[in-house]
Every structure is written in structure tokens, then in C-alpha cells.
Structure 1
């Protein structure tokens, strides 16, 4: 019997969206350690009525969050490439 393990290091970004001090929704993005993959999640809508009545503004926040996450992914890829170059392309 062979037992093996594999660990992963991910970066997770989260944003809580509030309307008039009341949390309406949470969103998150997870980027793997070398930046090769990114996933987005709408974690939960806490108040559907507030969400619906502020949908346009909330969607703008979500789009800005996606841009932030892709920027972070680019930084991870850049750092991963720089680190690989310093190690002789390993």
C-alpha cells in the first residue's frame, strides 16, 4: 500500500458588499499558487430584496472585483516566472 499526499497553496480574495450598513452579498476568487487557474464564487446573497434593488451598483462592484482578482493573478504569474528563472528554469 502506498500513501501519498499533495499540498496546495492558494490565494483567496473575498469581498463583502454592504448596502446602508447591511451585508447583502459576499464574493470570492481563488487563485492557485502558480497562477494557472482562478475561480470565482458568489458565496451567498444575504438579502435578496436589497440585492435586487441595488443590482446595477452591485454588479459594478463585482466587475471591479474580477479585475482586482485578475490583476492579482498576473502578479502571481509574474512572481512565479521570476522565481523559476532565478532557479534556472526549474
Structure 2
């Protein structure tokens, strides 16, 4: 009987894989990635016969892809972060 009760307690005490701190960093990473894609948008031309050099601006070539990569790095950090490791007993 004692073993059955212990199993029921273990099932009832299931925890999430990630903690609140992990989810905060994940949301920050998603926001940075979205900002990078927003900055990458535009610069095209309405007329296909007219070339618009704005497509090669510094913002679209350097800044936006860097923000996307930084966002992915934040996501990796958020997944690997272990908030329990810094708790003191």
C-alpha cells in the first residue's frame, strides 16, 4: 500500500522542464529574432525594371542578420540555463 501512495505522490508532483527564468530568456530571444526579421524587411522596388540600392543598406546586410544570430544564441542559453544550480540550501 505504501508504494502505491508514493507513486501517486510522484505523479502529482510533476514539474515543468524549464523554470520561469528559462521562459523569460526564451521570450527575450524570440523578441530579438523578430526584431531582426523586421529590420531585414523592405528595400525592394515596386517596378521590377528599376533597381533600388536600398536593399543593400547596412541595416539589412549587417545589423538584422546579427540580431537574428544573437537571438538564436539567447535561445540556446535559455535552453541550457539551469536556474537550480545557483540555489543555496
- Asked whether the two chains share a fold, i.e. TM above 0.5, the reply is no
Higher relative contact order (CA 8 A, sep 6+): 2
What TM-score range do you get, normalising by the shorter chain?
0.3 to 0.5
Structure ranking higher in helix proportion: 2
TM-score, with normalisation over the residues of structure 1? 0.37
